[in-house]
Chains A and B, each alone.
Chain A
Amino acid sequence: MTPALCLRMITDLAPQLESGEISARELTDACLERIARRNPDLNAFIAVDEDGARAVASRTDDEIAAGRYRGPLHGIPISVKDLIDVKGLPTTAASKIRPKTPAARDAPIVANLRAAGAIVLGKCNLHEFAFGTTGEDSAFGPTRNPHDTSRSPGGSSGGSAVAVATGMSYGSVGTDTGGSIRIPSAACGTVGLKPGFGELPCDGVIPLSRSLDHVGPLARSVVDAWLLYQAMGGQEPRIPPETNPRGALRLGVPRRYFLDHIDPNVRGRFNDALGLLSDAGVTTTDVDVPHASEIASVYLHIVLPEAMTYHSRTLDSRPEEYTPGVRLRLEMGRYVLAEDYLRAQRGREVLRREITAAMTNCAALVLPTLAIPPPPFGIESIAVGGLNDSVRSVTLRLTQAFNLTGHPAISVPCGNTPDDLPCGLQLVGHINQTIELLTVARRVETTIRPV
């Protein structure tokens, strides 16, 4: 069965746009119709620029008809997390703290996407100031998971993942400081890429933790994410050639710590995926990160003070305008001592070297993205694999390490639980080798799709 127009892949649509078989206006209308129908329940969008998007779509169709086709993103409607500047729209960060003044210019990553021909439909909901993994704390109300609206879509880029998963946009731009692209991608069944640290510019993006912040794409396939990633970095997006699906490929599985506390259904889907990869000739080998048990401590002592410094003035002057959970986490940052921040920076370097060493003989690491299925709203803690921990700690457990170390990482869909909740498979690449990671992820995606 052919999927609805708004649910198709960018790679599928691009040739039809180029040939004039379909129009950018049709795609834009399909997404806007889907937003009108689904957003009241899911709350994925904070702002929708209907008139602006339709006007750009009409101009796009004229350009293509005149022979000025720019490439596979030309005429593709996308969305942008409302932490990132889009000219003419306020950047709310899902907070009452932010001024309602429209951004004077696009963030460079958005400008690059527009230059490649993408059409910005609007701004997506998020956990306030990106400081949370559930999407519950937003001045605009929570974003809801389309697979079960009583559950979190993950966060903080939850609105972006919901938009992509439900056909409200073909791709989205998110940010990831501890897993905020990969976690909602896993929770909603999309692909989410966190490139290597510093690869894509964070100018025009409200910071959470400047030494951990990354920007990246969410999409419905690895190649769609690849195209968005290329364009965000100012490169000409090109559909990459197929690689040998039977060539030698070795993946490392970091079992200790990372697989110690995993929901049984998530573990089942992960093991299914490893089985399919093995059947397809992929070799897996166990690897170890000796100081993995210190990842959370290191992360906490960096993210808290870095986040607090950006918010210290408004925490003093307007504390009641933050959502309570975000305010409390920001306040914690006041109490981290400089000596402990420096210990954490040393630990970060240890972890970077250990993860690099663990990958020495592997193309990538493979592990689940999220240790649990998307959690229900309203719970503070959750038991998983014999460990009772806060929802925040459990959701960050498998992703935050790679923000500390700067390795590129991607989440791809990995089947559903018996309750039909999505699971994600995470692949982690070598530093400065995001393209190589995407190549691996494309092959893995193709291999495990039947899961």
Chain B
Amino acid sequence: MHIDAWAQAVIKDAQLRGLSELAPLLGGLVRATQTLRQADWNESAERTDRQDATAAKDPK
């Protein structure tokens, strides 16, 4: 799910459920999700670098 659509949906859902005090916490979650999705370990079908990021720093 695209992050903008997801962010709008979760805040709207919380309001509909009477949990408006969740909004600031969800704002923090959205920022954390943006960070997570931007991390360079994420796989992508269009990457040419096939090395597994999880193995790149393994000393063994």
On whether the beta carbons of A328 and B10 are closer than 8 Å, the reply is no
Tell me, yes or no, whether A298 is within 8 Å of chain B by CB: yes
Tell me, yes or no, whether B45 is within 8 Å of chain A by CB: no
Tell me which residues across on chain A come within 8 A of B22, comparing CB atoms: 328, 331-332
Distance in angstroms from A322 CB to nearest chain B CB is 12
A332-B25 contact in complex given A291-B39, A297-B35, A343-B39, C-beta closer than 8 Å:
yes
On whether the beta carbons of B59 and A296 are closer than 8 Å, the reply is no
Within 8 A of A (CB), among B8-51: 10, 13-14, 19, 21-22, 25-26, 28-29, 32-33, 35-37, 39, 41-43
Tell me which residues across on chain B come within 8 A of A332, comparing CB atoms: 22, 25-26, 29
Distance in angstroms from B30 CB to nearest chain A CB is 9
In Å, the complex CA distance between A136 and B10 comes to: 27
On whether the beta carbons of A347 and B58 are closer than 8 Å, the reply is no
In Å, the complex CA distance between A293 and B54 comes to: 16
On whether the beta carbons of A360 and B54 are closer than 8 Å, the reply is no
A296-B39 contact in complex given A331-B19, A356-B59, C-beta closer than 8 Å:
no
On whether the beta carbons of A353 and B37 are closer than 8 Å, the reply is no
Tell me which residues across on chain A come within 8 A of B14, comparing CB atoms: 331, 335
Tell me which residues across on chain B come within 8 A of A297, comparing CB atoms: 32-33, 35-36, 39
Q: Is the contact region of chain A dominated by helix, strand, or loop, or is it mixed?
A: helix
Tell me which residues across on chain A come within 8 A of B21, comparing CB atoms: 324, 328
- Size category, A interface: 20 to 34
Contact of A357 among B13, B19, B42, B57 (CB under 8 A): B57
A335-B35 contact in complex given A328-B21, A357-B59, C-beta closer than 8 Å:
no
A346 (CB) vs chain B CBs: closest residue: B41
Tell me which residues across on chain A come within 8 A of B41, comparing CB atoms: 291, 346-347, 350
In Å, the complex CA distance between A293 and B14 comes to: 29
B43 (CB) vs chain A CBs: closest residue: A346
Distance in angstroms from A431 CB to nearest chain B CB is 12
On whether the beta carbons of A294 and B1 are closer than 8 Å, the reply is no
Tell me which residues across on chain B come within 8 A of A199, comparing CB atoms: none
Q: How many residues of B contact A (CB 8 A)?
A: 28
Tell me, yes or no, whether A235 is within 8 Å of chain B by CB: no
On whether the beta carbons of A294 and B36 are closer than 8 Å, the reply is yes
Tell me which residues across on chain B come within 8 A of A346, comparing CB atoms: 41-43, 54
Tell me, yes or no, whether A390 is within 8 Å of chain B by CB: yes
Tell me which residues across on chain A come within 8 A of B25, comparing CB atoms: 328-329, 332
A344-B36 contact in complex given A332-B22, A335-B26, A339-B1, C-beta closer than 8 Å:
yes
Contact of A390 among B28, B42, B43, B55 (CB under 8 A): B28
Distance in angstroms from B41 CB to nearest chain A CB is 5
B34 (CB) vs chain A CBs: closest residue: A297
Tell me which residues across on chain B come within 8 A of A349, comparing CB atoms: 54
Tell me which residues across on chain A come within 8 A of B57, comparing CB atoms: 290, 350, 353-354, 357
Distance in angstroms from A345 CB to nearest chain B CB is 10
In Å, the complex CA distance between A354 and B57 comes to: 6
Map CB proximity to B onto A274-318 as digits: 1 under 8 Å, 0 otherwise.
Answer: 000000000000000011011011101100100000000000000
Distance in angstroms from B28 CB to nearest chain A CB is 7
A347-B39 contact in complex given A328-B25, A331-B14, A357-B57, C-beta closer than 8 Å:
yes
B19 (CB) vs chain A CBs: closest residue: A331
Tell me, yes or no, whether A55 is within 8 Å of chain B by CB: no
Interface centre among A324, A332, A335, A357 (most CB of B within 10 A): A335
In Å, the complex CA distance between A344 and B13 comes to: 24
Tell me which residues across on chain A come within 8 A of B37, comparing CB atoms: 340, 343
Tell me, yes or no, whether A337 is within 8 Å of chain B by CB: yes
What are 16 A-B contacts with C-beta separation under 8 Å?
A290-B57, A293-B35, A296-B32, A297-B32, A298-B36, A328-B21, A328-B25, A331-B14, A332-B29, A336-B29, A346-B42, A347-B36, A347-B41, A350-B57, A353-B57, A353-B58
In addition to A353-B58, A356-B59, A360-B59, 6 A-B residue pairs with Cβ atoms within 8 Å of each other are A332-B29, A335-B10, A337-B1, A343-B42, A349-B54, A350-B53
